[in-house]
Structure 1
Amino acid sequence: MTDTTRKQAAPCGTWTSPITAAVVAAGATPLSQVLLDGGDVFWLAGRASEGGRNTLLRNRGGQVDELTPAPFNARTRVHEYGGGATLVADSHIWFSNFADNRVYRLDRAGSGEPVPVSAGGDERWADFVLDRAHRRLIGVREDHSAGGTYPDNTLSALGADGTVTVLVDGNDFYSSPRISPDGTHLAWLSWDHPRMPWQGTELWLAEIGEDGTLLDGRLIAGGADEAIVQPEWSPDGTLYFVSDRSGWWNLYRYEHGVVHPVCPRAAEFGGPHWVFGNSMYGFRSAQEIVCTYIEDGVSQLARLDVRNGHLTPIATPYEQISELRVEGDTVALLGGAPTLAAEIACIDLATGQRNVLARSIEQLPDVSYLSVPQSIRYPSKGEKTADRTAYAFYYPPTNRDFAPQPGELPPLMVIGHGGPTSMAASTLKLATQFWTSRGIAVLDVNYGGSTGFGRAYRDLLKGQWGVVDVEDCVAGAQYLVDNDLVDRERLVIRGGSAGGLTTLCALAFHDVFKAGASYYGVSDLKGLDADSHKFESHYNEYLIAPKESADRVYAERSPINHTDKLHRPMIFFQGLDDKVVPPPQSEVMVSALRARGVPVAYITLAGEGHGFRKADSIVRTLEAELYFYLRVFGIPVPESLPPIDIENLAA
């Protein structure tokens, strides 16, 4: 136990911490798309020092090798958010390269240079499977060559010679093509505007003819109000999938034309399809599934007997699990916990042994500098919305060397996650510990609309974006104030993308927060519709209002129309290459605040899109945000912190 009597009393926000912005930028390696094949484990690792390049790594017998040399970047922009950029099967690896949109083939042994297979250019690919019988890949193809408002999405085949064959078209979106073990059937998901895939998708099944065409395609599950994710074939050729038809994303199987529930439970065995390739279950055998599921925002790992629906827990140290792959007795996953940053691990089900193959942070700070979050639930409501319970993770300030001055309560940073159909998790994030180790408390909010709490909770945001999410953030801050945990005069709110709208609405329509930070945030809902890419081009019809009434609601809810209500200091961060929330969304807001004399700072980053990947960008934004808060709250600024220009601050 730390001896608090030896701690130095200092103003919150000024505590010296080993978790610097440079440590945050250099220490976190994004890990994604875990694959397991033939005993080898593969994954993508982001290289912030190389401009955010994704490279494919392989662990074979404890030795890790890099398979995609620089400058290859295993990343795709299908649906703009990408995912599903790599496939490992038999003796080859295929990956989509970000720079030229071409699909490349690589010898699995890692020898030789990658060989281009597709034309690239205006043609993007994701979510591949290997059709061995016809010596081709089947995947999601997004064609931007027509020059229309939006690209054309199809389910297509890519031959070894680069020949493209469209297999299914006519829907706005496709995902998850999966070939049966005997190679005779193909299952896939599709959906159409205005739905997003977590609102409603359709599961289709077709035979694969001898010539490779699809025959007798038929809808077997799903619809406008049923969201299906992750169809998979069991070893015995039974089709499984995850559906939220019960109100929770649960497992089902399709047999002899009938859909059967596998394990009814008030838990989430699936998640929203923001990116391709997500996996939350896999088959140990035809009778046993290894799965991860979420209860009250925390992941569990278990074996599931498909004959009786019985779950047997598998002990792990993780509270967040994703990217789950299963091969025999081997389970590979991406896991994290409050004192464990995201890591790739293998579990041997026969022995229970767990081996960590890769860590997103190789050198963790001493645990005495880490804040362990408390999972809290609290009452929330609004003038026009019903009483409800909201959820969040509360991180108290923690630093073994410092304590608040006598009588001082810490400032609070409230974080509204992006998405907004996403989820705040408790996995160790140095970006959060950057603040808590300096004496600033953090509340990471799972507001109404968040994943992990069932469909009814997710649908709380229907027509209420900018309302329910804001109310839950405001209520969370007030809950901590009422419990004498934080200083009511030093409450700040920050968020990125959709969380940026939450931030701006909280400052415009409520008088609780004293400052805010918007990372590529939405300020003009109508402008977002005009600028948005295909995947999200109708999302606001669900989040805000149908088109016939949208203009009125947009005007009421867009912060850009209510700058007269903004009088709290704000800082904006914007990637100049952002195609999801383009720079004008920030620029119009900054100009309005500047003209009104409200303290404002604007930081732009060349070469960055929706989310910052470069190490120097991460350092610059964190240090600028800290400097901004210290200045506006009159807290002494360390000489080592680079200054930024804050307009109107004297006023």
Structure 2
Amino acid sequence: MNEDHRTVLPYGAWPSPITADAITAGSVGLGGVTVDGPDVYWLESRSNEGGRSVLVRLTPDAAASDVTPPPFNIRSRVHEYGGRCHAVQDGTVYFSHFADNRLYQQVQGKKPQPITPELEVRYADLEIDLSRGRLIAVREDHRENDREARNELVAIQLGGPNLEGGVVLATGADFYASPRLSPDGHQLTWVEWNHPNMPWDETRLMLAHIAADGSLGGVQQVAGGTNESVQEPRWSPGGVLHFVSDRSGWWNLYRLKPDAQALYPLDAEFSTPQWQFGSSNYVFLAEERLICAYHQKGRTHLARLELRESGWQLSELATPFTSAADLYVQGQSVVLRAGAPDRAPCIARLSVSGDVEILHESSTFTLSPADLSVPEAVEFPTEGAKTSHAFLYLPRNAETRAPEGEKPPLLVMIHGGPTGATDAVLDLSVQFWTSRGVAVLDVNYGGSTGFGRAYRQRLNGEWGVVDVQDCVNAALYVAERGDADIHRLAITGGSAGGYTTLCALTFSDVFAAGASHYGVSDAEALAQDTHKFESRYLDSMIGPYPQEKARYQARSPIHFTEQLRRPVVFFQGLEDKVVPPDQARKMFEAVRSRGLPTALVEFEGEGHGFRRAENIKRALEGELEFYGQVFGFTPSGITPGLDIVLSP
């Protein structure tokens, strides 16, 4: 008989090798992958540099080095979420600097130089048109204060000075994305859409010829329209236009030859919601040979898609990854951002045969397999005889166990969006909890992506209802099968996930505590005061405003604080333009007036999400300390510092 010599401590009180300091000091955010000849580039978001986003280059001699010097911060505020705000050609980099929203050119070995003036405009989705000496970009123009921002496609001369901020190529639609040049440089395609739609609701794929003077002519719609979301237009090497459409109910691949042809119909998603510009989920190795990433039930599959005599054939590639994005071709290989349950996000190179080379890791922290909680994909029953999805992480610690008979607290995590999804990639901020004896349930509630259009539209008109029901049912399902203490269920989320958290605490009695990170408490106020991109988002999620004013009020926790009987902690950035800080402050005051344990932590200089190391640490440790107070355990390895208000 093997004796268990681990230390016995209550769940939640376990010492953990995963500290908040270890998470922030040894980790960076990865994204923005691109390729320039033999060199690979990516963006690193560094919390230890105040969240600065730095462009890094890896050369064939495997020497990775920073390209953009301090204080340059490669980010864009178009749609507030940005994306594809840098481009590289022959070693010269073009990028958007977050501090002033100007575009810069950086010749290799030299300092960045501005190519646009200081104007109230922003740029994203950069496409180099080298033969005409220009960039094509999405521009968001804020120069007219008496109207909402104007979005357009513009041309920017590579050498500047672009005194007016660029020459307009396309205007009139509310939103633009994905300008992509044909291989011969004679055509431009792009995606556009209008209020009240979001890009996953309804978009149009446009095509135009480029005239001798660089202007666009013969503009026509070639795909998309009513109840169809078209995304990721891309040209094959031979000049055939491809795109992703959900006309079948799933985001599948199509090509125009001359009409839209489905390449390989499948109940899977070959794209993701376009919160940021520049998604790349498929690339061409040859005219009729692609490498693609498709998503099924929370897992990403990498596959080769090629045309054979019998038709298109999809062959899955055997890789260690369960998540993949930012695919770019380099010769006969693909560079991408990827991850797995036992591997944090990384930059990797994948050969056509499936061989994998890791180019760069997002984290230097080494987690012992004995401390690693591997997620279980859970399908659980919910309202309307439907099934929803989640990932369950049970407590795991090599040195500690709980007393016999004790069940762990369960922290239900709610992803943002709400049109988004969670995956099973190693996330140290999840392992932070499980290694301390707190189980985690990461929910892909109805409305999440990766499960088809019908699943995504479960939330239409039902935000604050379906998501709450799914989170409640997920928690009860796990507790009832014996994996969690039904009396110690907590819920946490950021942004839209914060809204679901507050609704669940207000309109149900299942959860004993919760944490709202920059969450919505007043849906009506959000409809009246948010940025352009999401200003009509709630038309589909709740209903048109002000026609459905009563429904907005009925879905807003701020109006029902007398029903809230559970402790809540709030974390809020003071520069948040998506969910204004006033929402957290009003909810905090309402909770405090009821005499419930609560706390409000505000972060100077932070926007919608926390980027600075010290603030990430404070939010993680503060939430743990709060649950310790509520559930009666003493967290190990943190210094108490949360100002918990216990009475009005």
Q: Which residue of 1 aligns with 2:178?
A: 176
Aligned CA distance change for structure 1 residues 140 and 216 (closer, same or farther; 3 Å): same
Shift of 1:637: 4.5
The answer for the alignment partner of 1:303 in structure 2 is 304
Aligned pairs for 1:215-234 (under 5 A) are: 215-234=217-236
C-alpha contact (below 8 Å) 1:289/1:306 kept by paired residues: no
1:78-477 equivalences under 5 Å are 78-107=78-107, 110-160=108-158, 161-163=160-162, 164-256=166-258, 258-306=259-307, 308-349=311-352, 352-381=354-383, 386-477=384-475
CA distance in 2, matches of 1:220, 1:318: 35
Q: Is 2:513 the counterpart of 1:515?
A: yes
Q: Aligned ranges for residues 28-43 of structure 1 at < 5 Å?
A: 28-43=27-42
Amino acid of the structure 2 residue aligned with 1:340: R
Aligned to 2:16: 17
Preserved CA contact (<8 Å) 2:578 2:608: yes
Q: Does 1:496 align with 2:524?
A: no
Structure 1 residues 432-441 or 143-152, which shifts more? 143-152
* Contact kept? 2:103, 2:123, Cα under 8 Å: yes
C-alpha distance in structure 2 between counterparts of 1:558 and 1:435, whole Å: 29
Contact 1:631 1:637 in 2 (8 A): no
1:68 maps to amino acid: T
Amino acid at match of 2:9: A
Moved more, 446-455 or 311-320: 311-320
SS of the equivalent of 2:349 reads strand
**1:639 Cα deviation from its structure 2 partner:** 7.5
When normalised by structure 2's length, the TM-score is: 0.97
Alpha-carbon distance between aligned partners in 2 of 1:638 and 1:416, rounded to the nearest angstrom:
25
Q: Whole-Å Cα distance in 2 between the matches of residues 516 and 120 of structure 1?
A: 43
Checking the alignment, whether the CA contact within 8 Å between 2:12 and 2:635 is kept in structure 1 is no
Equivalent residue letter for 2:321: Y
**CA distance in 2 between partners of 1:639 and 1:197 (Å):** 44
Residue 640 (structure 1) shift: 4.2
2:57 and 2:312 map into 1 onto residues whose CA distance is 34
- 1:283, 1:327 within 8 Å by CA — same for their partners in 2? no
21-30 or 235-244, which moves further after superposition? Answer: 21-30
Runs of 4+ in 1 over 3 A off after TM superposition: 637-640
Tell me the CA shift for residue 140 of structure 1: 0.2
Is the contact between residue 103 and residue 120 of structure 1 (CA under 8 Å) also seen in structure 2? no
Q: Check conservation: 1:541, 1:550, Cα contact below 8 A.
A: no
> 2:592 matched to which residue of 1?
594
Deviation at residue 642 of structure 1 after TM alignment: 2.0
| Alpha-carbon distance, 1:49 to partner | 1.1
CA distance in structure 2 between the partners assigned to 1:633 and 1:182 by the alignment: 64
SS of the aligned residue for 2:57 comes to strand
Partner Cα separation in structure 2 for residue 213 and residue 198 of structure 1: 29
CA distance in 2, matches of 1:113, 1:449: 45
Distance apart, 1:148 and its partner CA: 2.7
**Residue identity in the other structure for 2:280:** S
User: How far does residue 271 in structure 1 lie from its aligned partner after superposition?
Assistant: 0.8
In 1, Cα distance between equivalents of 2:2 and 2:316: 37
The question of 1:49 aligning with 2:48 is answered: yes
Q: Give, in whole Å, the separation in 1 of the partners of 2:207 and 2:200.
A: 20
Q: Contact conserved, 1:501 with 1:523, CA < 8 A, in 2? A: yes
Cross-structure match for 1:574: 572
Whether 1:64 and 2:64 are equivalent positions in the alignment is: yes
What is the TM-score normalised by the length of structure 1? Answer: 0.97
Structure 2 counterpart of 1:85, which letter? C
Q: Is the 8 A contact 1:202 1:222 kept in 2?
A: yes
Q: Give the Cα separation in 2 of the matches to 1:23 and 1:560.
A: 36
Tell me the CA shift for residue 3 of structure 1: 6.6
Distance 1:552 1:380 in 2: 26
Q: CA, structure 1 residues 363+3, in 2 after alignment: closer, same or farther (shift >3 Å)?
A: farther
Pick closer, same or farther for the CA change 1:100–1:4 going to 2, 3 Å.
farther
Query: 1:303 corresponds to which letter in structure 2?
Result: R
User: Any idea what the Cα deviations from partners look like across 1:274-315, whole Å, max 9, x if unmatched?
Assistant: 001110000001010110101111001111014522111211
* Offset at residue 170 of structure 1 (A): 0.5
Task: Please say which of residues 222-231 and 184-193 is displaced more in the overlay.
Answer: 222-231
**Structure 2 SS opposite 1:79:** helix
The percentage of aligned residue pairs carrying the same residue is 48
Aligned partner of 1:525 in structure 2 is 523
Q: Which residue identity is paired with 1:322?
A: A
Is the deviation greater in 557-566 or in 36-45?
Answer: 36-45
Matched with 1:610 is 608
Maintained 8 Å contact 1:9/1:406 = no
SS of the aligned residue for 2:254 comes to strand
Structure 1 unmatched runs, 5+? none
- For 2:92, the aligned partner's letter is H
For residues 413-459 of structure 1, the C-alpha deviation after alignment (integer angstroms, 9 at most, x for no partner) is 00111000110100000000000000000000000000000000000
Pair 1:207–1:437, CA change in 2 (3 A): same
Residues 385-410 of structure 1, C-alpha deviations (whole Å, 9 max, x = no match): x2210100000000011111111000
CA distance in 2, matches of 1:639, 1:326: 45
How far did residue 328 of structure 1 move?
A: 2.8
